[in-house]
A and B are shown apart, each in its own frame.
Chain A
Amino acid sequence: MTFWVSTLIVGFVTLFVFRGGFIIFKPTKPFPKIVEDFLDYVPVAAMFAIAGTHMIFIQDEDMLDFAPDKILAGVVTFVAAWFSRNLFVTLAVGMSSLWLIHYFV
């Protein structure tokens, strides 16, 4: 139930308001500057927020606990992404560092 309601609301608003806002409809007013500025930073924040929740914690029963293996591999991944700027290098380094940590620890 929650799945359907939330999926439909998000899908509807995303399509007709966000994506279609200026393409299906043709409004004349631009956004206020503050909104535009805010939106400039949301994607970066979203990427790091989602990566963070998956790289820092592990779900332990009902509790979230820190996951040192994932955090360490995450730091290595960050360095790989920063210096290589290459998706496959980053993916290879990130995954193999986690496997190595699991192998040795």
Chain B
Amino acid sequence: MKLKRMYHGAMLVTPLLVGLIPFAVSTGIYGTEKGFTVYESVILSLIVFAGASQVAMMDLLAQSAPIWIVVATALLINLRFMVFSAALSPYTQETPFWLRPFLAYTLVDYMFILISADSNKTDKSYEWAGVGIMVMVFWHGSVWAGAYFGDVIPAYLSLEYALPVLFLFFGVNMLKNKARMVTAGVTVVSIIGLYPIMPLGSGLMTSIILGAIAGIVTKRNLA
């Protein structure tokens, strides 16, 4: 029964792999291009396990930003997991104690989409575990593949450009209301204006904060 529920969870992931695999492969390729070893890219992936913050950390580390900027930027990007954690906790009522750290480790964006899709807040521990195993294997495996084969890909293909294309795609898909569009606009303007002039890569974090504040202000004014 538990195995069946895990299998069911694992199967839920298959349609999402078309997005997950290119994203993870691009992340791996990007790491190699920025001068990280395959080992470092995979370790970073295994420990942090979140595409956007992995990329931001590699960016900042490559430009020798200080630890606090790297940490603060990555944590700001990862803060959303706290909301996911709160939102999904009703689905873990019957989770055995030993399984909880694993469920927490595999709480990625895909998990939030799949588990919260069921509005009946019944226990989903084993479906979650099934999703988690799949996402974990495909994500880290694809990062490894990208990092490993990254330096045999000819430079004129500019494959590193696939990464921002994917980020832009995910970003555009989030533009579901006016406040979010304002967030996107303010963030981009702020990146153009601040990123090149602010020291140590701190413009990235600043732009994210300014964009988010602009979104809240817009939402409050519209409400």
- Contact between B105 and A19 (Cβ–Cβ < 8 Å)? yes
Q: Which residues of A are found within 8 Å of B107, using beta-carbon distances?
A: 19, 23
Is B101 on the interface with A (CB-CB < 8 A)? yes
Q: A23-B107, A50-B56, A57-B196 are in contact. Are A90 and B82 (CB under 8 A)?
A: no
Is B18 on the interface with A (CB-CB < 8 A)? yes
- Contact between B183 and A41 (Cβ–Cβ < 8 Å)? yes
- Contact between B104 and A19 (Cβ–Cβ < 8 Å)? yes
Is A24 on the interface with B (CB-CB < 8 A)? yes
Chain B interface residue count, CB cutoff 8 Å, equals: 87
- Contact between A41 and B105 (Cβ–Cβ < 8 Å)? no
Is B153 on the interface with A (CB-CB < 8 A)? no
Q: Which residues of A are found within 8 Å of B164, using beta-carbon distances?
A: 50-55, 70, 74
Query: Considering only CB atoms, which chain A residue lies closest to B186 in the complex?
Result: A45
- Contact between B85 and A39 (Cβ–Cβ < 8 Å)? no
Main secondary structure, interface of A, reads: helix
* Interface residues in chain A, defined as those with a beta carbon under 8 Å from any beta carbon in chain B: 2-3, 5-11, 13-24, 26, 30-31, 34, 36-57, 64, 70, 73-74, 77-78, 81-82, 85, 87-88, 90-91, 94-95, 98-99, 102
A-B CB contact pairs (8 Å), 24 listed:
A2-B64, A3-B40, A6-B74, A14-B78, A18-B78, A18-B79, A18-B81, A19-B104, A23-B92, A24-B104, A34-B216, A38-B212, A40-B216, A42-B79, A42-B80, A45-B187, A46-B76, A48-B184, A49-B187, A49-B211, A54-B160, A77-B165, A94-B162, A102-B158
